Amino acid sequence: MKIILASPRGFCAGVNMAIDTLEKSLGIFGAPVYVYHEIVHNKHVVDRFRTEGAVFVNDLLEVPEGSNLLFSAHGVSPEVRRVAQQRRLKTIDATCPLVTKVHLEAVRYAKQGYNIILVGHAGHDEVIGTMGEAPDSFYLVGTVEEVDALEVPPKAKLAYLTQTTLSVDDANRIINRLKEKFPHIIGPPKEDICYATQNRQEAVAQLSSDANCVLVVGSQNSSNSQRLAELASETGAPAYLIDGPADIELNWFAPDDNVLLTAGASAPETVVQQCVELLKRHFGATVEQRTLREEQVYFALPKELRALTGQ
C-alpha cells in the first residue's frame, strides 16, 4: 500500500488563529471561557478544549453575565453582539478575517439598496451570521434548482455573495445560473471562497486520479471537509469522511491500494498521522507526500488579545 499524503491539508490560517485565541484566552483568564458555537467544526478540537475548560454554547442566555465570551471562527450576527453587550460579556472576536470580509460586503450592499443572494448552506453558522447583517435584504440558495425557483421583486437591485467553505465548482455553477437568470446581478470584486478551501479542493481534484481510495479527515459538520469528500467521490474513487482512525474500516482497502489522504481545514495534523500509523501497521503502507502549493498565510490574534499579550 502507498499513502499519497496531499498537501496543503488540515488547518488553515483562520483555524490556527481561532485555536490560538482560545488557548491564550484560557491561559490568561482561566476556566471557564465561554465560546459561542464550536470554535471550529472539528470533534477532536472541541473535545480537547472542553477538557481544558472551554464551554461551548448556542444561546448567550447560558453565559453568566460579565463572563469571558469568545466568538468562533465562523462569525456572528450584529444581534448576537448586541445581546453580548447587554449581558456585559467580555468578548473576544475570533472570526476568520475572510468571513469578516463577506460580512462587510453584505453591509455595503445592503446600505446601497441591494437585495443580496447568498450562495450557501442553510443552518451553517457562517451563513446565519452573514445573513444577520441585513436580515431583510437576503435570499439564500444552495443549488441551481433553488436559483431557478427564486422569485425577486421586479427591477430589484441584486448582488450575490458566497459562503467561504463551498465547493468551488458547485459555487461557480450556481453563480453562472444567477448571472443567466439575473443579467444585472453584481458580485464582490474578489471571490469569497477562501484560499484554503480552494487549495485543498485543487489538491484532491488533481491527486484523486492516482488513488484507489480517498480518506478525508474531518468532522461531519465541517462544510469544507464534506466538500472534499464529495469532490473525491466525483472522480470515481471511493471516498470516506472520517473523524479519525477509529472510523476506518480495513475492508475498504486492498493490500496494494494507493490511498489518498487529506484533511479539511479544521482537522488536526495529529489525527492525520494517527491514520497514517494505522495503515502502516495493518498494510505496511509507505508514505509519499505530494505538495501542490505552499501556504504562507497568517492571521494575527484578535485585537482584544493583542492588547493583553503585547503581540
**In one letter, which amino acid is 75?**
G
Does some domain include residue 188?
A: no
Does some domain include residue 91?
A: yes
Is the per-residue pLDDT at 311 higher than 80? no
**Is residue 126 among the annotated active site residues?**
yes
What is the pLDDT at residue 308?
Answer: 81
Radius of gyration of the chain from Cα atoms?
21
If one counts every other C-beta atom within 10 angstroms of the C-beta of residue 310, the result is 5
Name the grid cell of 186: 453584481
Name the grid cell of 272: 492525520
Query: Distance (Å, rounded) from C-alpha 284 to C-alpha 162?
Result: 43
C-alpha distance across the termini of the chain, in Å: 46
- Asked whether the beta carbons of 103 and 199 are under 8 A apart, the reply is no
- Asked whether the beta carbons of 115 and 137 are under 8 A apart, the reply is yes
What is the pLDDT at residue 3?
Answer: 98
- Asked whether the beta carbons of 288 and 7 are under 8 A apart, the reply is no
18-27 as b/e: b if 16+ CB within 10 A: bbbbbbbbbe
Q: Which of 181, 203, 235 is the last residue of a domain?
A: 181
203/170 same-domain check:
no
- Asked whether the beta carbons of 295 and 199 are under 8 A apart, the reply is yes
DSSP state of 236: T
pLDDT digits (tens, 9 = 90+) for 185-232: 999 988 899 999 999 999 999 999 999 999 999 999 999 999 999 999
Query: Distance (Å, rounded) from C-alpha 83 to C-alpha 85?
Result: 5
**In one letter, which amino acid is 118?**
L
Is the per-residue pLDDT at 309 higher than 80? no
% pLDDT > 70, the chain? 99
DSSP state of 151: -
Does some domain include residue 190?
A: no
Does some domain include residue 187?
A: no
Kindly report the CATH number assigned to the domain that includes residue 129: 3.40.1010.20
Domain of 88?
Answer: 13-95+299-309
Kindly report the CATH number assigned to the domain that includes residue 24: 3.40.50.11270
Q: Which of 126, 133, 145, 288 is catalytic?
A: 126
Query: Distance (Å, rounded) from C-alpha 87 to C-alpha 96?
Result: 24
Which phi and psi (to 5°) does residue 3 adopt? -95, 120
Number of domains in the chain: 3
pLDDT digits (tens, 9 = 90+) for 44-67: 999 999 999 999 999 999 999 999
Name the grid cell of 249: 474500516
The model's pTM is 0.92
Q: List, in sequence order, every beta strand (DSSP E) within 178-238.
A: 213-217
37/66 same-domain check:
yes
Bridge partners (DSSP) of residue 118 are 140, 161
pLDDT digits (tens, 9 = 90+) for 84-134: 999 999 999 999 999 999 999 999 999 999 999 999 999 999 999 999 999
199/276 same-domain check:
yes
Bridge partners (DSSP) of residue 70 are 35, 92
75/116 same-domain check:
no
